[in-house]
Structure 1
Amino acid sequence: MKRRRRLCSQICLLLAGICLISLGASIFIFFESIYDFILKDALKFTPTSKAFQAWRTNDPPLSMEIYVFNWTNPDQIKNVSVKPEFEEVGPFRFKEIKEKVNITWHDNSTISYKHKKSYFFDEENNFRSLSDVISTINAVPLTIGYKTRNFINFYKGIISIGLSSISSLHVTKTVGEILFDGYEEPILSTLSMMPINVEDRFGIFYKTILFFSRKNGTPGLDGVYSMSYENDEHFGRILTWNYRNQTDFFEGHCNDIRGSAGEFYPMNQKRDRLVLYSAELCKYAEFEYVEDVVIKGVHGYKYSADNIFDNGTTRPENKCFCKGECIPSGVFNVSACRQDSPTFLSFPHFHAADPYYHSLINGMKPDKKKHEFFITIEPKSGIVMDIAAAMQVNLLLQPIERLSLYSNVPKVYVPLFYFTQRLNLTDELASSLRLIQNLPEYSNYTSLILVGLGLICILWGLCSLCCCKTTKEKLKIEEKIQRNTQYEEVPLNERIYDTK
């Protein structure tokens, strides 16, 4: 009975060893498939998932810093020997809450939604006051002049008289009035008395979508989005904007709606390009891979947007963004999607732009560390680790024929303001991403341990079998020797012989 039990335990050791080796080898061979399955399950996008809850609203609120430019010598704008001079004023810090509203789930693995954005002046972290007074370009008559630049001379003559008599080329107002509160502009007061849908005050973010759709609490100012949420190579991709897959702002493929909405990217990113679609840019933007970085112990790919404002100067494929006139790289014409206002986008202080723009004015101090627009992605999961968004709004001041207010002025891209937003990697997310990145290494260790334990079990079992067999043979020999010894010790006269 004891021998049988011992034999069973030895066989169990051998079988356990084989199972452990098989399990270790299976984990090693099939780990990639298992790994992808675990990640997809963790990142699945459903009404009850963590990914959806994080996407639906940003909590805590994002911090946004706005810098305005004070025009220090506007009275000398028609002096050809003096360049316009600007100085940066700020930052003015705000809290942004961006919610997804009117969310609709569709059967084809897409979801449609609108944005609802709210902004609050950050009283605790501001060292500047919205009551600070600055001078800047007067956007209202400049926009009217730009809109009417191709009118016939008769109408332009009437407009010229109106603009010259009641409007000025620049204004001096508080930062609060220029940004959110709005200020009274005589020409708007006149127009508001006519059957025209126009406000009697003007501010960059005052009841307007002239520059950016940031009116507090109004949903859908930047359009209706449709996004793919299937966790595959299309995950997070914008399929339509305002129910269309193309715009009519530019020409050809430059009207395409493509790329991510900025929050989600597919798994297994490569060191090439990221594409996102931005309603504020009025187009898709391509971010190019720059370098590998490590943030809080997490390895990521950094992608830079230095070339997104090229209009065909350095990239021929971007020529269709020109809308008739290609200007030097680094400043982007968005007048077509900003109510035909003379609005041009760039990076702050014309960072990464052609030197042409710096030659027109004084006071610009581009700094790559402060003014770069980049995204850092954790490559395996596609999760955004770090974002630094920075954008500047400029208004084109130029001579307009038959409009006396703009006669003898230089052609200048006047910097109005810029904003920056930074989303840093949290400690909690960094911990999860480190686990994701270290899981393959943990898997290799686990495989080696299982194989090692399996080999130990097999060797132990084999050794036990060998030892058992040796012991059994040794016992047989000892018994035989013992019998022979007992036989020899019996005296001859006492031995019993079988004679049969």
Structure 2
Amino acid sequence: MKRVSIIGKYCNGFFLLFGVVLSMLGLTLLLYFPSIYDFIIHSALDLRPETEAYKAWSTNDPPLILDMYFFNWTNADQVYDPTVKPHFEQVGPYRFLEIKEKCNITFHENDTVSFQFVKRYHFMEDESPKPLTDVINTINPIATSAAYKSRFFHPLKKLMLSFGMSSTSKVYVTKTIDELLFTGYEDPLLDMVRSLSILLPEGANVSDKFGWFYQRNNTYGLSGDFSMYTGHDENFGKLLSWDYRNRTDFYEGTCGEIRGSAGEFHPINRERDFIEIYSSEMCSYAHLQYEKDVTVKGIKAYKYSSDTLFDNGTKVPENACFCNGECIPSGVLNISSCRMDAPIFISLPHFYNADPYYIESIEGLNPNKEEHDFYITLEPKSAIVVDIGARMQLNVLLQPIKGFSLFEKVPKIYVPVFFFDQVVTVTDDLAVKMQLLQNLPDIRETAAYILIIIGVVFMMSTLCCWVNSTKSQKLNRNEYKIPPQSIADEIPLKLKTETT
């Protein structure tokens, strides 16, 4: 009996301790879970060579699909007729696999990493809706750029260049999509400019061919050198510098700052306000405003879109410094300063969200939000991108330029050349993991209360058992105990009886 009692006390002590542990664990989940949750997220986003986050960040595997659309200038031969509006017809898409890897990755002691990009494009011949052999009319980028860059030249230089243009070039060219993109094409004006060094600025080089991406496929470093914060704080994912500087000379004031992320990572715990992304192609940052809450594959997320992107200060006063000295109607960004002074302007496809001025001066464009908006959707706690619609259009300014007979009577329009469309949504496997991560707070709360309740039940049951056991032991002792006085009284009675 004594051994059983000891075992019972031991078990009761164990159950009491077990109940206390469960209750404390539940309270810990309630009180300290935010810190634990942040630790879990930081661990999942830890950028070290041996982590999954690093592997996903350093290379986009599997490759992403990139669709490109061009605009065919259907009445380019009537460019000098002021009664005829230039008409453009969208053609495409031309589908590519885009491989965007990091190279020259170096980690530094101040919680930053520096890197460059390697970009590869593979045409998906069997899956592309349109072939690269398509022939279109488009603006002549060589002649247009040469005239634009030379508009302030000495009259004698302008006369020489104008004569060369008139004898070799038109305002438009007729080329295949392949020539316009990667293969490139030869042009007599390039040969002439190369042979007359007097027409070239000091140190300038002229390529043997022109193509929008000529000699840019499978190359690295052309996008510049990036330095990004990797520390687990509010700066995680933000760029520290681009090309070893924290601002550029392409825009004045705050518009020249290196701001925002490189696109893959953003600081955690997002708010319903805005995000910023720095683009080396734009030579500036893109500011995306919160639009609404959405659900992507079961993941609750915040969608940030381009309502004020490329604003000229009309909606956002601080954007006025993007005008580059000459403000144009809102919705188009002048990037000529970072494109060797070529008349290059970017916008959203079909001039979506831009001033009506742009589509009213031409025909054939039909902007709409579903097909032409630029947006990024983030899971708010981890700031992981769950859906993105990356879309951008390149335009060339065509305008009358004095001293160049080829351009003296042309209309002033922003000629749409091409735009890219890349829509990427989180994979199913990652979506399941993110749903679990997102549901952890609710799971934590339920689990915490269950642990507390079970712990309290264990403690109360143990205490009740102890109380009942103590009472039972007292009763048992009272039942079997014979007082000494009673025994003394019974002995004489017994002897007396026996004697009788």
TM-score where L is the length of structure 1: 0.93
Rounded to whole Å, the distance in 2 between the matches of 1:400 and 1:39 is 57
Q: 1:158 to 1:190 in 2, by over 3 A?
A: closer
Q: Quick one: which of 134, 137, 155 aligns to 1:132?
A: 134
Partner of 1:201: 209
Rounded to whole Å, the distance in 1 between the matches of 2:211 and 2:14 is 81
Rounded to whole Å, the distance in 2 between the matches of 1:292 and 1:43 is 23
Q: Secondary structure at the residue paired with 1:104? A: strand
Q: 1:200 to 1:480 in 2, by over 3 A?
A: closer
Partner of 1:14: 16
Q: 1:314 to 1:473 in 2, by over 3 A?
A: closer
> Could you tell me which amino acid in structure 1 is paired with residue 314 of structure 2?
T
Asked if the contact 1:45/1:230 (under 8 Å) is kept, the reply is: no
Partner of 2:387: 386
Rounded to whole Å, the distance in 2 between the matches of 1:493 and 1:144 is 139
> Could you tell me which amino acid in structure 2 is paired with residue 23 of structure 1?
L
Instruction: Give the gaps of 5 or more residues in structure 2.
Output: 198-203
Q: 1:371 to 1:487 in 2, by over 3 A?
A: farther
Asked if the contact 2:258/2:278 (under 8 Å) is kept, the reply is: yes
Structure 1 position 27 matched with structure 2 position 38: no
Structure 1 position 278 matched with structure 2 position 286: no
Asked if the contact 2:164/2:192 (under 8 Å) is kept, the reply is: no
Asked if the contact 1:141/1:167 (under 8 Å) is kept, the reply is: yes
Rounded to whole Å, the distance in 2 between the matches of 1:17 and 1:267 is 36
Q: Secondary structure at the residue paired with 1:406? A: coil
Task: Write the deviation string for residues 461-488 of structure 1: whole angstroms up to 9, x where unpaired.
Answer: 122123323433443554479x999999
Using the aligned pairs only, state the percent identity: 48
Rounded to whole Å, the distance in 1 between the matches of 2:291 and 2:382 is 19
Q: Secondary structure at the residue paired with 1:65? A: strand
Partner of 1:146: 148
Partner of 1:103: 105
Q: 1:397 to 1:27 in 2, by over 3 A?
A: same
Partner of 1:48: 50
Structure 1 position 423 matched with structure 2 position 431: no
Rounded to whole Å, the distance in 2 between the matches of 1:105 and 1:480 is 82
Rounded to whole Å, the distance in 2 between the matches of 1:296 and 1:140 is 46
Of stretches 141-150 and 298-307 in structure 1, the one that deviates more from structure 2 is 298-307
Partner of 2:289: 288
1:104 Cα offset (Å)? 1.7
Rounded to whole Å, the distance in 2 between the matches of 1:80 and 1:306 is 33
TM alignment of 1:329-478, pairs within 5 A: 329-476=330-477, 478=479
Partner of 1:210: none
Q: 1:454 to 1:294 in 2, by over 3 A?
A: same
Rounded to whole Å, the distance in 1 between the matches of 2:211 and 2:252 is 31
Of stretches 146-155 and 421-430 in structure 1, the one that deviates more from structure 2 is 146-155
Task: Write the deviation string for residues 207-266 of structure 1: whole angstroms up to 9, x where unpaired.
Answer: 3xxxxxxx1121111111111111211111111111111111111121111110001111
> Could you tell me which amino acid in structure 2 is paired with residue 354 of structure 1?
D
Rounded to whole Å, the distance in 2 between the matches of 1:35 and 1:227 is 24
1:62 Cα offset (Å)? 1.0
Task: Write the deviation string for residues 341-368 of structure 1: whole angstroms up to 9, x where unpaired.
Answer: 1100000000110111111000001121
The number of residue pairs the alignment matches comes to 491
Task: Write the deviation string for residues 391-449 of structure 1: whole angstroms up to 9, x where unpaired.
Answer: 00000001101211012211000000000112211112111211211111121122112
Rounded to whole Å, the distance in 1 between the matches of 2:367 and 2:496 is 120
Rounded to whole Å, the distance in 1 between the matches of 2:450 and 2:312 is 57
Rounded to whole Å, the distance in 1 between the matches of 2:38 and 2:366 is 46
Q: 1:343 to 1:182 in 2, by over 3 A?
A: same
Q: 1:498 to 1:322 in 2, by over 3 A?
A: farther
TM-score where L is the length of structure 2: 0.93
Instruction: Give the gaps of 5 or more residues in structure 1.
Output: 208-214
Task: Write the deviation string for residues 170-200 of structure 1: whole angstroms up to 9, x where unpaired.
Answer: 1111111122222221111223345563223
Asked if the contact 2:266/2:384 (under 8 Å) is kept, the reply is: yes
Asked if the contact 2:73/2:136 (under 8 Å) is kept, the reply is: yes
* Aligned Cα root-mean-square deviation (Å): 2.5
Rounded to whole Å, the distance in 2 between the matches of 1:308 and 1:367 is 15
Rounded to whole Å, the distance in 1 between the matches of 2:139 and 2:208 is 18
Q: Quick one: which of 120, 123, 135 aligns to 2:122?
A: 120
Structure 1 position 76 matched with structure 2 position 113: no
Q: Secondary structure at the residue paired with 2:102? A: strand
Task: Write the deviation string for residues 275-328 of structure 1: whole angstroms up to 9, x where unpaired.
Answer: 111101110111111111111111111111232211223222111111111011
Structure 1 position 252 matched with structure 2 position 260: no
1:498 Cα offset (Å)? 12
> Could you tell me which amino acid in structure 2 is paired with residue 205 of structure 1?
F
Task: Write the deviation string for residues 57-81 of structure 1: whole angstroms up to 9, x where unpaired.
Answer: 1111111100000001012112111
